[in-house]
Amino acid sequence: MVTNNVVDLRSDTVTKPSEAMRGAMAAAEVDDDVLGADPTAHRFEAEMARIMGKEAALFVPSGTMANLISVLVHCDVRGSEVILGDNSHIHIYENGGISTIGGVHPKTVRNNPDGTMDIDRIVAAIRHPDGALYYPTTRLICLENTHANCGGKCLSAEYTDEVGEVVKSHGLKLHIDGARIFNASVALGVPVHRLVKAADSVSVCLSKGLGAPVGSVLVGSTAFIDKAKILRKTLGGGMRQVGILCAAAYVAVRDTVGKLADDHRKAKVLADGLRKIKYFRVDSASVETNMVFFDIVDSRISPDKLCQVLEQRNVLAMPASSKSMRLVIHYQISDSDIQYALTCVEKAAEEILTGSKKFEHLTNGTTRNSYGH
């Protein structure tokens, strides 16, 4: 059984812009945004600031740039230190930009399976001023919501508030990598502005689950955004008629947030189906949003092999590790796509086990991963 349609489960970054997005892009009123004159960018940024409950917003080309700008604004003295999760996107997947470009030292705290960091461990990681002669100066704490490497787990408003209290009591700042913050909002049933109330800045990716073709948005105080705008230009992120992209992003926020709950439902269906296949192990109860991680329990089946065979059936996936896979749902994945993928995954595993010699050339000791998508 092979479908002519590609079922792309590599990431929620693979979505194609909808007809409504394309129409909005074609009709967008634009001007030079570097000169501060693009009206569509202005409207979109104002709307995102309102939705997120912050004073101002700034459209940027990517989530990596959004996070980098945020860290550099808050840690504007070289030799500053940021506390962040050891399994966080900023620490693992963003080329070490905070260090190589910003001169900011990362102090990692272990991420728990639910994406949190223990509050006492965060407090213990904060440098005491008496050690300023020897240590970097702690200036920032970063959280990630949802937490991708922890299975798309959601951080509660209460937990974020607790970290916010630590931040206030120590005179620090709090940044939230909210690449999938709308997924967290929908899954928790909590307005997105409430989830980020304690944060001094938030990055929101528009090209993941929301489905816009390009971009992220930064939100924070007016003073923060004024500094962020300068850094965006420094990093090469100042673009001209950016309203074309903001128009698509506006439609993505307007039309796709309401579809995220269905993505989460489909992820549960996918996890439940994988749990019934004897070659895999998945904790379907741990699936909170649109990501499904599963372990391969038969050592003869490698993630690389499985991806290769699935691709022959027009199902695209990516390994998460040498023994696990990650599948991500987005609004362009249908219920029938889920059922087709489940059938293909089981048949692919069986094909590998019955014809293992055929796939020996695929085992080269390396495993691709999802590269932070």
Identify the CATH number of the domain in which residue 144 sits. 3.40.640.10
318 with 234, same domain: the answer is no
206 with 320, same domain: the answer is no
| CA nearest neighbour of 88 among 103, 67, 69 | 67
- Give domain status of residue 8, yes or no: no
End of a domain among 255, 289, 324? 255
- Cβ partners under 8 Å of residue 19, min gap 6: none
Q: Which domain holds residue 286?
A: 259-353
Distance CA 277, CA 287 (A): 17
238 with 120, same domain: the answer is yes
- Residues of the chain with pLDDT below 70 are 1-4, 356-373
Q: Which spans in 75-117 are helix H?
A: 89-93, 97-100
- Give domain status of residue 222, yes or no: yes
State the pTM of this model.
0.94
β-pairing verdict for 201-205 and 216-220: antiparallel
138 with 225, same domain: the answer is yes
137 with 250, same domain: the answer is yes
- Give domain status of residue 174, yes or no: yes
Which residues are registered as beta bridge partners of 153?
147
- Give domain status of residue 117, yes or no: yes
227 with 331, same domain: the answer is no
pLDDT for 366 equals: 39
74 with 194, same domain: the answer is yes
Identify the CATH number of the domain in which residue 323 sits. 3.90.1150.10
146 with 169, same domain: the answer is yes
pLDDT for 284 equals: 87
- Give domain status of residue 294, yes or no: yes
Q: Is 305 helix (H, G, I), strand (E, B) or coil?
A: helix
- Give domain status of residue 364, yes or no: no
pLDDT for 356 equals: 55
User: How many domains, in total, are found in the chain?
Assistant: 2
239 with 272, same domain: the answer is no
pLDDT for 248 equals: 98
| 338 to 172, 291, 315, 325: CA distances (angstroms) | 45, 13, 10, 16
Give the Cβ contact number of residue 28 at 10 Å: 21
By CB atoms closer than 10 A (0-12, 13-18, 19+), residue 108 is: middle
196 with 67, same domain: the answer is yes
177 with 146, same domain: the answer is yes
232 with 284, same domain: the answer is no
